[in-house]
Chain A
Amino acid sequence: QKEVEQNSGPLSVPEGAIASLNCTYSDRVSQSFFWYRQYSGKSPELIMSIYSNGDKEDGRFTAQLNKASQYVSLLIRDSQPSDSATYLCAVIPDTGRRALTFGSGTRLQVQP
């Protein structure tokens, strides 16, 4: 099993809807998680990090961590066409390596 897995999508939602992006992880990671947004042809941009079980909100974004089920989600409320991008989930491998391991990303399309 990979350390982190994401559905490649695309996930298509209408403008104004809630977009829900999910990431599952293995036992071989530490309990810190990061969400990055990557527009086509650009570099990733950190949008949220979450370290404890439960929800963390920042503007229209909410990160949810469920340790029992080993998944972390990113919810985007009131989705806008400008939210159309690939969302990468990143984890810290439990190997002592001090660098993130990234999922392959989920492409989100927000339809006007």
Chain B
Amino acid sequence: DGGITQSPKYLFRKEGQNVTLSCEQNLNHDAMYWYRQDPGQGLRLIYYSQIVNDFQKGDIAEGYSVSREKKESFPLTVTSAQKNPTAFYLCASSVDPSSYEQYFGPGTRLTVT
């Protein structure tokens, strides 16, 4: 089955720890995205990548880092510098950067205490 997978579904961490969220797609899509969603709010763009080995900051990149070493993978690291990391994290992909129809993975709910 083609799709986007994110793991784990729920993640718990102590404050001060870095944590990496996984995002994998087997759709052969060029572009991948990370969004954050807080309760009752829309999605805010963290980072996006149009092609392997290239990525751009979104609106709220501070405290986050990404890599795009393979076409199918776009992991997100939430660092200890992120002030309020508890949120629902969503990964998405699109066929190519000119196609704005984005398809989402199931999400990872991160709780930091």
Contact = CB atoms under 8 A, between A and B. Distances in A.
Interface of A: 8, 32, 34, 42-46, 49, 88, 90, 92, 97-105
Contacts of A8: 40
Interface residues of B, number: 24
A56 B100 CA distance: 18
Given A44-B43, A99-B33, A101-B45, A49 B107 contact: no
Contacts of B44: 102
Contact of A98 (B48, B90, B101, B105): B48
A102 B42 contact: yes
Contacts of B40: 8, 104
Nearest to B41: A104
Interface string B75-113: 000000000000000100000011011111111000000
